Amino acid sequence: MRVVSGIKPTGNLHLGNYLGAVKQWVAMQEEIQRAGGETMYFIADLHGLTEWIAPADLRAQTIEMTATLVAAGIDPARSILFNQARVSAHSELSWLLNNVARVGWLNRMTQFKDKAGKNREGASVGLYDYPVLMAADVLLYNATHVPVGEDQKQHLELARDIATKFNNDYATELFTLPEPLVSKAAPRIMSLRDAGAKMSKSNPSEQSVVKLIDSDEVIADKFRKAKTDPDLLPATWNELEGRPEARNLVTIFAALADRTPEDVLAEYAGRGFGQFKPALADLAVATLGPIRDEMQRLLNDASAIDAILKTGAEKAADLAGPLLRRTQEAMGLVI
């Protein structure tokens, strides 16, 4: 079993990013390796180019994302951790697969429509074509499983379609068809000021989002001031129907504590938010504080980050090289 997953380098990661993706990767590292498999995680800096970004910002965000993953628990000695651009086989295989993928398949990709909006003619070719690069990212390593959210299932299906067509067209069994690995534990974290909207760094209200770089005092203050309602907490999850702010805070508490929402409610049933929010603030500080401190330590040691990415890229390239060669041979590109 080989699990491969990538994450775009974005700056100022927040609690939603941590609980929805990073924490899941750390748990996966433990579970997959206990089962005898291996995990590969990469910073998807090539995907970061689909929309304009200043080169200095892309470099800084790649470094920050690497520091965040390591600080949160991704161990470069146990998982292969690298940035995508250092392994040229990603770009090379992507071009080869472009000649297998069909335009009709890409036209059905809903994320391009969402991201390009009304400016489709002005969008980059990369934004249109990046699902093929995503296919190359996982097919390159014969990934057996790929962690996906609901919004990425369509892209994994495309990867399977491309792999199937390649295998059929060239009478080979070269590519493994990866299976989705859907984490039911990944919570959807909403804004602390409006539980009808996802937590996002683009929200104009600083109080709505808990950033991983926030100080202990700032984290605690944001939770103490989080929007709630005047009612007491009930004993069951179903009784929180119609109370989105309360549901959001209970969800965050459960995710940070590795407990179920039902378990949290069993402890706090009948109590008000005057008791619950300080307990949640303490839990968030205790969980996020050490990650922030380690992340800042790593960011102050650029050579250490570079060494992690360099070593990881060398390991990834060693795995990717033979499959890329066999792909080229199958297509008649090796004379």
Task: Please give the DSSP secondary-structure letter assigned to residue 238.
Answer: G
Strand 179-181 with 2-7, pairing: unpaired
Placement of tokens 């920050």 in the chain: 64
Placement of tokens 């069993």 in the chain: 266
Query: What SS3 state is found at 45?
Result: coil
What does the alpha-carbon distance between residue 43 and residue 169 come to, in Å, rounded to a whole number? 32
What does the alpha-carbon distance between residue 251 and residue 254 come to, in Å, rounded to a whole number? 5
Determine whether 211 is exposed, middle or buried from the number of CB atoms within 10 Å of its CB (0-12, 13-18, 19+). Answer: buried
Task: Please give the DSSP secondary-structure letter assigned to residue 122.
Answer: G
Residues present in the chain in total: 335
How many angstroms separate the Cα of 140 from the Cα of each of 81, 313, 320? 15, 13, 6
Which residue from 46, 125, 144, 127 is spatially nearest to 93, judged by alpha carbons? 46
User: Catalytic residue positions?
Assistant: 115, 198, 201
What does the alpha-carbon distance between residue 134 and residue 302 come to, in Å, rounded to a whole number? 28
Distance of alpha carbon 166 from the chain centroid: 28
Strand ranges in 66-217 using DSSP code E only, listed in sequence order: 80-83, 145-147, 179-181
